[in-house]
């Protein structure tokens, strides 16, 4: 066997295709990686409860959730980076005054601060996770929040970025951005996971396609952007594979010599 590697996969547009399906070739490739003794992990902006079935199907117990704010290695939480509640509530109040709602998220669930909103419906529907946030404007009370979803049109987040520098605003949908702690990223979460796994940087790999993958792809020594990825993701990566729907994961793993 070659030296043990750890491979971090984004979910949407990377593990899952454009219809949110797991290609057979991807499932088989991951089984082969695991059989060879490598560690397979996930690095996503999603909450843990949004891809529990996928983890079970692929038998993955190490993951970086919430773009690096909630990290689990071999089933154990090893790092968390919660949002500042005081600052988040100030942002929440101002957002409401501009018809920009928010969804609070911890490691168990997500709740919206408004009963309904078209931006929430549109963006959450695109994830095809089969659940929507219920209404609870007080969900932040007594909980650590690792990420929030803020709903505004493209460009409208610039005002909030300037006023709330303690947060990162990362767009993942035309009407929604992730709110992360300043300095939070998949790259940072992966750093903590790799420290626990004790695997050298030259044996760390990452696959991604989106804007929230750019720092990860730029930082990880062996990074692969999907053929369907954003231009910024492709520019940041060391390699570019085929489209996710064209056996892109399998092709990429062969490109980097893992299969």
What are the average pLDDT values for consecutive 10-residue runs of the chain, which has 259 residues? 87 96 98 98 94 97 96 98 96 97 96 97 92 95 95 97 95 92 92 97 97 95 97 98 98 97
CA 241, CA 224: separation in Å to the nearest integer?
A: 7
Q: Are residues 74 and 194 in the same domain?
A: yes
Domain count of the chain? 2
Q: Are residues 205 and 223 in the same domain?
A: yes
| Helix-then-strand count for the chain, H and E | 9, 14
Active site residue 10: yes
Q: Are residues 123 and 244 in the same domain?
A: no
CB 43 within 8 A of CB 216: yes
Domain range enclosing 207: 6-80+184-255
Residue 206 CB neighbours (<10 A): 29
| Residue 1 confidence (pLDDT) | 40
Q: Are residues 96 and 67 in the same domain?
A: no
Helices in the chain by DSSP H: which ranges? 24-35, 52-58, 85-97, 118-127, 157-163, 186-197, 214-219, 231-236, 248-255
With respect to residue 1, please indicate whether it lies within any of the assigned structural domains: no
CA 132, CA 121: separation in Å to the nearest integer?
A: 8
Which residue in the list 10, 12, 106, 178 is annotated as catalytic? 10
Domain final position from 153, 181, 209:
181
Q: Are residues 108 and 122 in the same domain?
A: yes
Domain final position from 163, 181, 199:
181
């Amino acid at each position: 066997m070659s030296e043990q590697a750890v491979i971090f996969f984004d979910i949407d547009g990377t593990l899952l295709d454009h219809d949110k399906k797991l290609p057979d070739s991807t499932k088989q490739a991951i089984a082969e990686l695991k059989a060879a003794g490598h560690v397979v992990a996930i690095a996503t902006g999603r909450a843990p409860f949004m891809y529990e079935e996928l983890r079970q199907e692929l038998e993955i117990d190490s993951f970086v959730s919430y773009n690096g704010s909630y990290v689990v290695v071999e089933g154990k939480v090893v790092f968390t980076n919660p949002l500042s509640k005081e600052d988040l509530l100030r942002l929440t109040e101002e957002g409401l005054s501009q018809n920009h709602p928010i969804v609070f998220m911890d490691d168990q669930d997500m709740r919206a601060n408004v009963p309904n909103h078209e931006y929430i419906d549109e963006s959450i529907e695109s994830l095809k996770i089969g659940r929507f946030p219920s209404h609870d404007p007080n969900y932040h009370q007594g909980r650590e929040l690792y990420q929030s979803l803020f709903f505004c049109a493209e460009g409208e987040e610039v005002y909030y970025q300037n006023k709330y520098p303690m947060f990162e605003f990362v767009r993942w949908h035309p009407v929604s951005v992730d709110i992360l702690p300043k300095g939070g990223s998949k790259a940072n979460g992966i750093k903590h996971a790799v420290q626990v796994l004790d695997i050298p940087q030259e044996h760390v790999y990452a696959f991604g396609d989106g804007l929230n993958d750019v720092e990860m792809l730029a930082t990880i020594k062996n990074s692969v952007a999907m053929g369907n990825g954003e231009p910024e993701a492709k520019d940041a990566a060391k390699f570019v594979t085929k489209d996710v729907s064209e056996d892109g994961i399998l092709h990429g793993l062969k490109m980097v010599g893992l299969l």
